[in-house]
Amino acid sequence: MPSPTAGAEKPELREIGEFINGFGRLGYVADIGLATAVYLLVRLPKPLLIEGHAGVGKTEVAKVLASYLGTELIRFQCYEGLDSQSALYEWNYQKQLLAIKAREHSDKPAEELERHIFGNDFLLKRPLLRSILCESASPVLLIDEIDRADEAFEAFLLEILSEFQVTIPELGTIQAKQIPHVVLTSNSTRELSDALKRRCLYHWIDYPSLQKEIEIVRARLPEFDHDLGSKVVRFVQLIRQMNLSKPPGVAETLDLSRASMLLRMKQFDSATAEQMLGCVLKSASDLARIRQEGIENLMSRIAQ
Amino acid sequence: MLSNLAAPTPGQSISDDFESSIVQFCRFAYRNGLDSSVRSTIDSVRAARIVEGESLRNALRTVLCHSKKEWDLFDPLFESFWSGRPLDKPERSVVRLFGSTGKTGEQRAYFFSGDHKSKESQTIVRKRKTVAGATSIERLSKIDFSQLAGEDLAQLEQLSERLLRWMSFRLSRRVQVVHSRSRIDLRRTIRAAAARGTELIELRYKGRKTQASRLVILLDVSDSMNPYSHFLFRFAYALSKHFDQLACFVFSTRLVDVTSALKTTTLPEALKALSAIETFWSGGTKIGSALREFNRGYGRRIRSTDTTVLILSDGWDTDAPDTLVTELSILKQRAKRLIWLNPLLGLDQYEPVTRGMSAALPFIDVFAPAHNLQSLLDLERRL
């Protein structure tokens, strides 16, 4: 594990190839495009927005980057109705109440009390503030599924994304000590605002090719039988092309592979595939569709 | 940022020529459909300095693109610029569509930005300025859009703008929360108490934030809808002012996302933005295919708990009804409610017996007319 220093100064980060190798060692198969994007994220430094279908490994990029750089991963999950208090900071009310009570009979002026209870001791730091306050090394800040938050929250993020600073009314503006490596992911369930997109680098992760997906299964599950693995991948790739309502991602391929390992499958045929179909298909209409197509039929198409 | 750009990077000597060609490439990319900004040009140069050889393409793509659409545009642009070959412009079916029917150019002008108001009718309007009495309003709001003559059209446009604005205002008022005293807002309570003294006498409350529901509008702009789509787009605009999360699509044989056009501050701006989007007003209708395109490409935007889907179409479909049935059933499963507004429903003798329409009926929650202003205003209660 590399020593925790600011990313840009580390000599091995001067090469894009290093990222591919480093990610590979951690079980993430990155192509040159993604490696370049991550390289620029670290070197420029600029936030990186990753879009792609569900289950293609968007979130994983941030996790792997953090462990590659040997820094802290600060994960922040977006949801609808998210507000700045759960993203940035909150005051510890119970403690504030106690402090007010404890000083009830002191003759200090109210202004001083106010300064005291809105001080650092009473501040609960939420993920965004934590990423800004990190002392030792640039953390990786993962803002996951940004498309789930509303537009107001996007606007709120602009300051932190472009200036790497946050403003708290009671404390003033806080500048990042170590510029965090920011990774945003989106499932593109809605169009993000132009202002946000302009502040980010962009990378689109597509479904992997057959060869790449086989590599991924091998990298993630080295103990899994290779022939069986490539059969599983072929099967999922075939299903993926069938215009289902929820096409399986790489995550589903890995689930299916793990399931076959757990169940100690010796071979991957129509009977075993039928048994584990739930790992890959997540809706009743899709299941019906595949059954209608005939699993034997699909299996024979893989064998070709 | 700029000074940053001027400073040479240690250990790397890159000629000015190279950097200026990066800048030229950025300008080339902006001219050909990528979103431009000085910031991304600067970042491109900075990125180009720290990458080598083959990675340049990937680096510039990551810096200059902001969406999947731009991502797909990028590679041909890059090839064309560095190889010096002219860019193969993708043949846009849209353009051909316009070419094939002689009148469409005119119609475009008709639809967009209110150009159709001739000078004459404008002067007439000015003469009669706002003397439209109650009866006149009533008459106008009940007149079928397709029966409008020039003078009425201009008046109705003004009236619709006013009434639709009212509708969207009432809609937003309706969802405002009553002050409930259920949950104490400690944050604001302490803030208030600390300034004054010690005792928490005055409590502050917080209510639940009401969730704005989502609306997806699918507007038919084929030939047969021609008399109506003009007003229906205004209707969509009025609705967009109320719904936080609104997506709007127009379709005839294909589907185009026009949501961005509605995000402008005034109606004329919206109409102008709409004319900038390459749409294909008029032409045949393929409702089934359009819905399939929607389900495939945008289906995930629908959240079954609170999304209402509003289809504005007359139901004339040249697709096989099977396609429509399949796609509607998918849509129905995903959406909370499916509303179909059909302008033809305003006609006395109309029965929904066209193949498409009768096949669609079982999936529709609300089936209502949309032939005049009154019918659109009535919809307020159903949203």
Measured distance CA(B330)–CA(A285) in Å, rounded: 9
Rounded Cα–Cα distance for residues A56 and A58 (Å): 6
Lowest mean pLDDT among A69-78, A280-289, B241-250: B241-250
Contact A232, A192 (CB under 8 A): no
DSSP β-bridge partners for residue B214: B245, B307
Domain coordinates of chain B in residue numbers? 13-83, 214-382
B259 touches chain A (CB under 8 A): yes
Residue A12: what pLDDT? Answer: 57
Compute the radius of gyration of chain B from its Cα atoms: 27
Q: What stretch of H or E contains A49?
A: strand A48-52
Angle at B208 between CA B203 and CA B210, to 5 degrees: 145
Q: Give the contacts of B166 (CB within 8 A, at least 6 positions apart).
A: none
Average pLDDT over residues A19-27: 91
- From the list A40, A113, A190, which residue is nearest B62 (CB)? A40
- Residues in B closer than 8 angstroms to A118, CB to CB, are 194
Contact B211 A243 (CB under 8 A): no
* CATH number for the domain running over B214-382: 3.40.50.410
- B63, B67, B187: residue with CB nearest A91: B187
Whole-prediction pTM value? 0.69
Among A44, A91, A100, select the one facing B47 at the smallest CB separation: A44
Q: What's the CA gap between A70 and A2, in Å, rounded?
A: 6
Contact (CB, 8 A) for B213 and B308: yes
A96 and B190 in contact by Cβ < 8 A?
yes
3-state secondary structure of A75: strand
Task: Give me the helices (H) in chain A, please.
Answer: 16-25, 32-43, 58-69, 84-87, 93-102, 110-117, 127-133, 151-163, 194-198, 210-220, 226-240, 250-262, 270-275, 284-293, 295-303
Per-position b or e across A182-198, b if 16+ CB within 10 A of its CB: bbbbbbbebbbeeebbb
Q: What pLDDT does residue B281 have?
A: 61
Q: For residue A301, what are the β-bridge partners?
A: none
Let me know if A149 is exposed, middle or buried by CB neighbors in 10 A (0-12, 13-18, 19+). buried
Sheet (strand B337-342) strand order: B255-257, B245-251, B214-220, B307-312, B337-342, B366-369
Specify the pLDDT at position B4. 43
Instruction: Give the separation between CA B215 and CA B239, rounded to whole angstroms.
Output: 9
pLDDT for A158 beyond 70: yes
Q: With an 8 Å Cβ cutoff, are A44 and B187 in contact?
A: no
A174 vs B212, which has greater pLDDT?
Answer: A174
CB contact under 8 Å between B195 and A201, yes or no, is: no
CA distance A47 to A50: 10
Secondary structure of residue B245 in the 3-state scheme? strand
The tens place of each residue's pLDDT in chain B, 383 residues long, gives 344 444 444 444 456 788 889 999 999 998 888 887 888 899 999 999 888 877 899 999 999 998 888 898 899 899 888 887 777 654 333 333 233 333 333 344 344 434 444 333 333 333 333 444 555 666 667 777 776 666 666 666 666 666 666 666 655 554 444 455 556 777 777 777 766 665 666 777 765 555 556 788 898 888 788 778 777 888 888 777 777 678 888 888 788 888 888 877 777 788 777 777 765 665 677 888 888 888 887 877 776 667 888 888 888 877 778 888 888 888 888 888 888 888 888 777 777 777 778 888 888 888 888 777 777 777 766 66
Residue of chain A nearest B68, judged by CA positions = A204
* Minimum distance, in Å, between the CA of residue A161 and any CA atom of chain B: 14
pLDDT above 70: percentage of residues in chain A: 95
